[in-house]
């Protein structure tokens, strides 16, 4: 490998503000350096803020599903055994374009995302795309790595599967040796035009949408929080929740037709749930990994109790991120067994009268 150091050209704060607010056909490119957004050479399709790849886990994931919404819903199940944290505790994002046969997925601490958003707002980049800086490198050829050294000692790496990472030199060397010492092509700078392969601003951290009526927002919030569960339940093939899912699917379709006339003309509740998710305004969505894994684990854990437990209704408490299940127990003595089975599934549960309250970890 060559031994090169590339010193980044950093503009003044006044020039950075001018670039952030001016009208340009192309977006500028910045990277977060010590919590400060500094401009770097290059352009993107829209303003792009590069964040430290050390703080973002990127994974190549096979998700053979027809829409981005469904792939995003399946993502927690596809990666939960590949990340160290519980999937409901991290913010997930997914690329909209494939790299080879796979999609690029990322997992990052939500609190870190919030700090990055604050830094972006302070730099006048509140609407910028946010991407790990290692993904700004071009894709290498099969069996090779593209490498870029920064003057601060960081080394960025892009791999053929589309993923990337950043590390100081000693750690990079250890990773390189463990990977079988692949051939590396050392770059001196980013490409002049940087493609956006992954935008971290999804779900809870998505940029605000404009033009949605107040009634549509209300319907979207209610429908997505309570009725997107229909698609998840049906996908899990959980018999004990099927009647609730069917009823809520009909309610969702009726609500969408009332609040957004002409937007939905089909009869499949799955498609209605997808549309409801698209209508949901930013800041109201539950991050992937809260509703979906909790519901799936609960459904699987309760399946053996189908002859003892009848569910009259199912709600999702957005604020507390917990399931509220109004249930009839044929044998009240089974309550303790149900709570124990849910505990073994990684959930915390308790009964309050006829209501079973379930959440992932913590207090129910």
Order the strands of the 103-108 sheet from edge to edge: 57-61, 103-108, 91-94
222 confidence band (pLDDT: 50, 70, 90): very low
Higher pLDDT, 160 or 359: 160
Residues 55 and 149 in one domain: yes
Residues 198 and 222 in one domain: no
The range of the structural domain enclosing residue 79 comes to 13-204
In a domain, 5, yes or no: no
CATH assignment at residue 118 = 3.30.420
In a domain, 173, yes or no: yes
Residues 186 and 80 in one domain: yes
User: Which residue(s) pair with 59 in the sheet?
Assistant: 105
What is the pLDDT, as a whole number, of residue 325? 86
In a domain, 4, yes or no: no
225 pLDDT more than 90: no
Residue pair 304/341 in contact (Cβ under 8 Å)? The answer is yes
Of 204, 227, 252, the one marking the end of a domain is: 204
Higher pLDDT, 354 or 312: 354
Least confident of 81-90, 199-208, 281-290, 315-324: 281-290
In a domain, 47, yes or no: yes
Residues 222 and 197 in one domain: no
Residues 219 and 195 in one domain: no
Of 285, 304, 324, the one marking the end of a domain is: 285
305 confidence band (pLDDT: 50, 70, 90): confident
Average pLDDT estimate for 334-356: 89
Residues 200 and 216 in one domain: no
Those residues whose C-beta lies under 8 Å from the C-beta of residue 297, and which sit 6 or more positions away, are: 342, 345, 346, 347, 360
Residues 122 and 181 in one domain: yes
Higher pLDDT, 151 or 263: 151
Residues 108 and 195 in one domain: yes
93 pLDDT more than 60: yes
Average pLDDT estimate for 97-108: 91
pLDDT in tens, 19-53: 444 434 368 999 998 889 999 888 888 899 999 99
Structural domain total, the chain? 3
Residue pair 281/214 in contact (Cβ under 8 Å)? The answer is no
Residues 231 and 273 in one domain: yes
CA 96-100-105 angle, 5° bins: 45
pLDDT in tens, 265-288: 666 665 666 666 555 544 444 333
Of 204, 231, 257, the one marking the end of a domain is: 204
pLDDT in tens, 239-266: 334 444 555 566 667 666 665 666 666 6
CATH assignment at residue 361 = 3.30.1360.100
In a domain, 105, yes or no: yes
């Amino acid at each position: 490998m060559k031994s090169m150091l590339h010193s980044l050209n950093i503009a003044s704060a006044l020039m950075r503000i001018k670039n952030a607010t001016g009208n340009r056909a192309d977006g500028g490119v910045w990277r977060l350096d010590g919590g400060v957004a500094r401009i770097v050479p290059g352009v993107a399709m829209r303003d792009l803020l590069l964040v430290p790849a050390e703080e973002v886990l990127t994974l190549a994931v096979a998700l053979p599903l027809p829409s981005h919404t469904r792939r995003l819903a399946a993502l927690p199940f596809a990666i939960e055994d590949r990340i160290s944290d519980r999937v409901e505790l991290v913010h997930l994002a997914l690329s909209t374009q494939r790299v080879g046969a796979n999609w690029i997925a990322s997992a990052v601490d939500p609190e870190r995302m919030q700090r990055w958003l604050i830094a972006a707002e302070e730099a006048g980049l509140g609407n910028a795309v946010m991407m790990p800086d290692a993904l700004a490198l071009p894709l290498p050829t099969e069996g090779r790595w593209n490498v870029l050294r920064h003057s601060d000692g960081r080394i960025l790496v892009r791999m053929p599967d589309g993923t990337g990472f950043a590390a100081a030199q000693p750690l990079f060397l250890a990773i390189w040796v463990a990977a079988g010492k692949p051939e590396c092509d050392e770059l001196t700078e980013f490409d002049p035009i940087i493609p956006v392969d992954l935008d971290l601003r999804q779900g809870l951290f998505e940029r605000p949408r404009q033009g949605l009526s107040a009634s549509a927002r209300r319907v979207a919030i209610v429908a997505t929080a309570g009725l997107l569960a229909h698609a998840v339940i049906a996908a899990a093939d959980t018999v004990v929740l099927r009647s609730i899912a069917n009823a809520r699917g009909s309610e969702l379709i009726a609500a969408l037709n009332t609040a957004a006339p002409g937007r939905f003309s089909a009869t499949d509740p799955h498609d209605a749930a997808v549309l409801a998710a698209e209508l949901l305004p930013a800041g109201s969505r539950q991050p992937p990994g809260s509703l979906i894994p909790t519901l799936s684990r609960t459904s699987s854990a309760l399946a053996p109790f189908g002859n003892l437990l009848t569910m009259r209704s199912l709600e999702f408490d957005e604020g507390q991120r917990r399931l509220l299940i109004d249930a009839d127990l044929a044998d009240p003595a089974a309550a303790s067994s149900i709570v124990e089975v849910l505990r073994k599934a990684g959930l915390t549960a308790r009964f309050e009268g006829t209501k079973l309250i379930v959440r992932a970890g913590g207090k129910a």
